[in-house]
Amino acid sequence: MAHQKPLILVTNDDGITAHGIRTLVEVMQELGTVIVVAPNSPQSGMGHAITIANPLRLYPADIFGEVIAYECSGTPADCVKLAKHHILKDRSPDLVVSGINHGYNTSISVLYSGTMSAAIEAAIEGIPAIGFSLGDFSRQPDFSHVREHVFNIAQNVLQNGLTKGVALNVNFPARGPEPLRGVRVCRQANAKWEESFHERRDPHGRRYFWLDGEFVNYDAHAEDTDEYAVANNYVSVVPCQYDLTAYSTVEQIQQWGL
Amino acid sequence: MAHQKPLILVTNDDGITAHGIRTLVEVMQELGTVIVVAPNSPQSGMGHAITIANPLRLYPADIFGEVIAYECSGTPADCVKLAKHHILKDRSPDLVVSGINHGYNTSISVLYSGTMSAAIEAAIEGIPAIGFSLGDFSRQPDFSHVREHVFNIAQNVLQNGLTKGVALNVNFPARGPEPLRGVRVCRQANAKWEESFHERRDPHGRRYFWLDGEFVNYDAHAEDTDEYAVANNYVSVVPCQYDLTAYSTVEQIQQWGL
């Protein structure tokens, strides 16, 4: 029997026309047969939202040459669900990759990240999955220094698989004067945004607010975190799970005698 | 110094006019000073989404008598952020409660749940937090059998606190012929929806899709899960964390030699 090329689903949260997904499609074509199902508009900060109160739209998108692609009106998690349960009903993908996100999804950002929610949605479906993000918010980021790592990490996941219920959160530093120093498999840093709101008035005098904040790393002295890795020009790889149970506290709360 | 009553922030994801939040406000008034900041529209399935591309609106809502209340154009997570960093800048809440959700947030639903994202957002801010949900989707659910448990669990959290980074996910069975059998502190079941999409055509002939699915519990024989608890007429309490690191797989992936 002929060896069948792996089937790779590509999605993202910046929308199907973003530069990051184009790079991801190009690299994945070296590893398998690629299909794209991605949002038709930016979905940054959508977390693990899904569309349940409105109907979902799905249209063919002829923007990646020979690669079959669809744009979807929903969230990244919706895209994975539609791909798995409608478009690819007869053959499940061997790998789901999401990104490359324009901006980091390290530490607490993993919770708000549409990029990672797509990867975690795939993990829920039992499909090995990776979210890729680049710490560069410019309109036209340079992805050239991450291509070999994207290829290598995806190839390893295809070869080794991932423990059931786990997806990888991969973050790359922006291209700098020095080459990347390598890959560190690490944990999610205990870091967050110390937030504030800008209060403004619209032309009708009505108040509105913009979320803003300053990033604070409470794990600044730890060397085993994703924040440490990217701050030191390493690629960070964090295995993420969707079982949120805080097992270490179950017994303690049982003792309350509720 | 006079003993100050606890400050309790109440939010939800069904919107500020839902029946569940009214019950929660009433019970919390027995425990402290209540303030409400809740979405002005249903936000079910919004997961941990936050509003970053659009301005947020916030209006006073005079619907809970003497209780100060605001309605917000954003998600449950936005409500907690606006409450903490704008409305309650000078005094952080002692407790954040979210719900009571109309429908279960057991097992995998915790990821999609706006109710729980509000509680987890509070945990990120270091505030003890609880999400409450009821397994009853009717328009006018009966909350009378859960009031004493809501009070008791919230009182325990106020007295004992919660480990940093942990929020409780509490689920109540719908009122049945028998009284609730008690409370079980348990883990998130390995269960999910086996999904499918209904394909339809709008009056213009354009396709659209509705998400549907059948619930499957892969942990059906385990007795330590939230699904077991509610199926057997117990209240389930699952401590949830936002550190998603799958620690048990870090070393394994390190051995890939990326």
User: Which residue of B82, B211, B240 is in closest CB contact with A209?
Assistant: B82
- If you count residue pairs, one on A and one on B, with CB atoms under 8 Å apart, how many are there? 224
Q: What residues of chain B, 2 to 41, have a C-beta less than 8 Å from chain A?
A: none
pLDDT tens digits for range A240-251:
999 999 999 999
Asked whether residue B44 is marked as a ligand-binding residue, the answer is: yes
- Interchain CB contact of B68 with A (< 8 Å): no
d(CA A42, CA A12): 9
ipTM: 0.94
d(CA B247, CA B243): 10
All domains in chain B, ordered by first residue = 7-188+222-254 (3.40.1210.10)
Chain Cα centroid distance, residue A80: 12
Q: Is the pLDDT of residue B233 over 80?
A: yes
Torsion of CA A52, A53, A58, A64, to 10 degrees: -70
CB A103 within 8 A of CB A134: yes
pLDDT tens digits for range B68-113:
999 999 999 999 999 999 999 999 999 999 999 999 999 999 999 9
- Interchain CB contact of A210 with B (< 8 Å): yes
CA distances from B139 to A136, B43, B83, B134 (A): 47, 16, 28, 12
Q: What is the mean pLDDT of residues B221-246?
A: 98
CB B38 within 8 A of CB B16: yes
Using pLDDT thresholds of 50, 70 and 90, give the confidence band for residue B137: confident
Which residues in chain B are closer than 8 Å to A152, comparing Cβ atoms? 258
- DSSP for A206-236? -EEEEEEEEEEETTTT-SSBHHHHHHTTPEE
User: Can you give the C-alpha Rg of chain A in angstroms?
Assistant: 19
At A1 the pLDDT is 46
- CB burial class (10 A; 0-12, 13-18, 19+) of residue A115? buried
Q: Which residues of chain A have pLDDT under 70?
A: 1-2
Asked whether residue A14 is marked as a ligand-binding residue, the answer is: yes
Ramachandran assignment for A56, one of left (phi > 0), alpha (psi -120 to 50 degrees), beta (any other): beta
User: Degrees (nearest 5) of the Cα angle A145, A149, A150?
Assistant: 100
Least confident span in A98-107, B45-54, B221-230: B45-54
Asked whether residue B13 is marked as a ligand-binding residue, the answer is: yes
- DSSP for B166-181? EEEEEEEEPP-SSPP-
- Interchain CB contact of A222 with B (< 8 Å): no
3-state SS assignment for residue B116: helix
Mean pLDDT of chain B: 95
User: Which residue of A84, A197, A200 is in closest CB contact with B85?
Assistant: A197
Ramachandran assignment for B8, one of left (phi > 0), alpha (psi -120 to 50 degrees), beta (any other): beta
3-state SS assignment for residue A70: strand
Check CB contact under 8 Å for A246 and B163.
yes
Closest A-chain CA to B187:
A245
Q: What is the mean pLDDT of residues B202-212?
A: 94
Q: What residues of chain B, 136 to 165, have a C-beta less than 8 Å from chain A?
A: 149, 152-153, 156, 160, 162-163, 165
Using pLDDT thresholds of 50, 70 and 90, give the confidence band for residue B53: confident
Q: What is the mean pLDDT of residues B54-70?
A: 95
Closest B-chain CA to A169:
B245
Check CB contact under 8 Å for B56 and A258.
no
Q: Which of B91, B70, B59, B90 is nearest to B25 (CA)?
A: B70
Which residues in chain A are closer than 8 Å to B185, comparing Cβ atoms? 250, 253-254, 258
- Interchain CB contact of A81 with B (< 8 Å): yes
B253 contacts: CB under 8 Å, gap ≥ 6: A168, A185, A237, A239
> How far away is chain B from the Cα of A177, in angstroms, using its nearest Cα?
22
The letter for the amino acid at A206 is R
3-state SS assignment for residue A146: coil
Chain Cα centroid distance, residue B104: 10
Q: Is the pLDDT of residue B138 over 90?
A: no
Which residues in chain B are closer than 8 Å to A243, comparing Cβ atoms? 187-188, 190
Which residues in chain A are closer than 8 Å to B207, comparing Cβ atoms? 57-58
Check CB contact under 8 Å for A192 and B124.
yes
Asked whether residue B101 is marked as a ligand-binding residue, the answer is: yes
